[in-house]
Amino acid sequence: MNFVEELKWRGMIHDFMPGTGEQLQKEMTTAYVGIDPTADSLHIGHLVSIMMLKHLQRAGHKPIALVGGATGMIGDPSGKSEERNLLSEEELRHNEQSIKRQLLKFLDFDAGPNSAEIVNNYDWISGFSFLGFLREVGKHLTVSYMIAKDSVKNRLETGLSFTEFTYQLVQAYDYLYLYRNKNCKLQMGGSDQWGNITTGAELIRRKTGGEVYALTCPLITKADGTKFGKTERGNVWLDSRYTSPYHFYQFWLNCSDEDTERYIKIFTLFSKEEIDALIAEHKEAPHRRALQKALAEDITIRVHGKEAYDTVVEASGILFGQSTAEALHKLPEDVFLAVFDGVPLFEVGHGEVEQGIEMVDFLSEKTQVAKSKGEARRMLKEGSISINKTRVSDTDKVDANQLIAGRYLVVQRGKKNHYLVRVKSG
RNA sequence: GGGGGGGUUCCAGAGCGGUCAAAUGGGGCAGACUGUAAAUCUGUUGGCUUCGCCUUCGGAGGUUCGAAUCCUUCCCCCCCCA
């Protein structure tokens, strides 16, 4: 199966320029996607582009990940309703290094002629003089052409700085640069990048007469219409400092049936047959959630490794399974701590627990499970708080008898929110 | 420059002298059902020393026993005619 067919059945094609498929059939082709280093970690939204590169490489072509050290200093207006803040050069350099490290997990950088590469457009844009840019790039595209782009058109009313207006030219130049220096003939990206990519193709055609191509994938959506990749905690990051492996795994495990059927095609490398089998299996016994588990397993292992995955599955079993207070008490301390790694932790004084703490105070003042006493009371009234797997009410107290391993309490709010409370000695 | 309409609790949007911590909808959170899904139903959604008190209705003053509601002034939005 060739690259375009592969992406097609996976639902990863939104649009491509005529001739794209033919080019890929003709010869080993170099293609790139751009990633703006706006943070020092990728999040799962970036994963789609990365998977496109992965499939490209598997099809025998050469992937380039372009870290936008220069473009990140400008800000892409595509899909943005407001002018962006500029990042400092120092921040960008740091972000870029971190992102590079993450990319190493996904692409093969030692695959002979089609080894993956990482480039940074800062390297060729930063030295460009303003006059040089105007003569080299600006001269070849008209304002009317630039204004016709949706990314610009949508912002003309609300406001768009000259800087953001110029963004598409900078990105276009990247494409030209890679075409000339790396023989790169395909640029890929999310569907919001279509305008920027075609500007690049146009620039290349006018300056060199060369023919290059574009391929975009649809924006990932959720069936309920909310934004993909966000939880109440914010973005789902690949870096465990921002999203613990536990939450990362839980994110995928909690996807709805409908979404998972689409996601598993996009975010895993399972074959069509394997995925069809999983979907059939899931339809057979939906409550087992074979599909979500397969997706979560595959992607968690690739991002965080097998060991982290095993721990996280064990943790999930304990946190959501039928386990009881006794089961918690029986866990060896090291397993216990591994299970609760990444779960919010609060500390209370030993003396306070000895004396017993009113439940409302415990939830709101001693810990931040509830934002206020009022909220703590409401939660207790609603019956949503459990301690060590046992539901509690506002008349209960927290005392030393409940401690696990002599110094821990497991607090649960609703089904999904867990907190660990540790008793400070002294 | 002229005329008009607004700024209300997370959002949208009622209220227009007391019964307003403020209708209704959305969102959030929780409960039931279930599969740690979706849909549905239910509860809840300013704070506290909680049968009461305190802080909220763009800012600052004022009228009144009493104001989100009336007056003055300031700030900010939007629309229409030039």
Strand B contact with A379 (CB < 7 A): yes
Q: How far is the CA of A396 from the C1' of B10 (A)?
A: 32
What was the pLDDT predicted at A324?
Answer: 75
In CATH, A325-424 is 3.10.290.10? yes
Q: Which nucleotide is nearest to A372 (CA to C1')?
A: B47
Q: Give nucleotides in strand B with any atom < 7 A to a protein C-beta.
A: 28-31, 34-39, 43-50
**Structural tokens at position A424:** 């400070």
Within 7 Å: CB of A371 and strand B? Answer: yes
Q: Is the CB of A375 under 7 A from strand B?
A: yes
Report the C-alpha gap between A300 and A207 in whole angstroms.
45
Q: Are A5 and A59 in contact (CB under 8 A)?
A: no
Spatial separation of the C-alpha atoms in residues A350 and A116, rounded to whole Å: 55
Query: What type of residue sits at position A312?
Result: V
Paired with A43 in beta bridges are A237
Percent of all residues in chain A with a pLDDT value above 90, rounded to a whole number: 52
Give every CB contact of residue A16 below 8 A, 6+ residues apart in sequence: A4, A213, A214, A215, A216
Span CA (A383) to C1' (B48), Å: 22
Q: Are strands A213-217 and A184-190 parallel, antiparallel or unpaired?
A: parallel
Q: Is the CB of A372 under 7 A from strand B?
A: yes
Task: Judge if the beta carbon of A171 is closer than 7 A to nucleic acid strand B.
Answer: no
Per-residue pLDDT at A69: 82
Look at A331 and A110; give whichever has higher pLDDT: A110
Which superfamily does A3-217 belong to? HUPs (3.40.50.620)
Q: Which two tokens stand for residue A203?
A: 């620039």
Q: What is the pLDDT of residues A327-385, one digit of tens each?
A: 788 888 888 888 888 788 999 999 888 888 999 999 998 998 998 999 999 999 888 99
Statement: residue A79 has pLDDT above 60: no
What's the CATH fold of domain A230-320? Tyrosyl-Transfer RNA Synthetase (1.10.240)
Q: How confident is the model at residue A222 (pLDDT cuts 50, 70, 90)?
A: confident
Domain boundaries along the sequence of chain A: 3-217, 230-320, 325-424
